[in-house]
Amino acid sequence: MGKLEVLYSINGNHLAAILLAADEAKRRSITLDGYELTLFHEREQLIASFTDQQRSGASLGNPGIRPGLEVHISPDGPRVISSNFIR
C-alpha cells in the first residue's frame, strides 16, 4: 500500500453547508466540474463561492469564462438565505 495523502479535512458543519450550496448550484444549472469552491464566514452567515478554476489572476469576483455563484447560508440551519451569480 502506498503513502496515504490527506487532500482535505472538512468540519461536519461545513460539509452540510457545502452540500446545501452544491444543491443550489445544481438548481441554478451550474455543473460543478471546472469550479473551485471557497467557504467564507461573514458575520452571522457562511458564504460558499463557486468560481471558475481557469480564472486569470487573483482579483475580486469571478474573472473566468464560467459564471460564478455565491450562496449565502445560515450557520444555524443550515438553509440558503440567498444566492446570486457573480462576475
pLDDT tens track for 52-63: 888 665 555 666
pLDDT tier at 78, thresholds 50, 70, 90:
confident
Domain of 58? 31-86
Whether residue 7 lies inside any domain: the answer is: no
Q: Domain for residue 24, yes or no?
A: no
pLDDT band per the 50, 70, 90 thresholds, residue 19 = very high
48 lies in a domain? yes
- C-beta separation of 31 from 50 below 8 A: no
Q: What's the sign of the alpha-carbon dihedral 65, 71, 72, 76?
A: negative
Q: Please tell me the predicted confidence (pLDDT) of residue 59.
A: 55
Residue range 31-75, pLDDT digits in tens: 999 999 999 998 889 999 999 888 665 555 666 788 899 999 997
Task: Answer whether 83's CB lies under 8 Å from 67's CB.
Answer: no
Residue 1 lies in a domain: no
Higher pLDDT, 8 or 77: 8
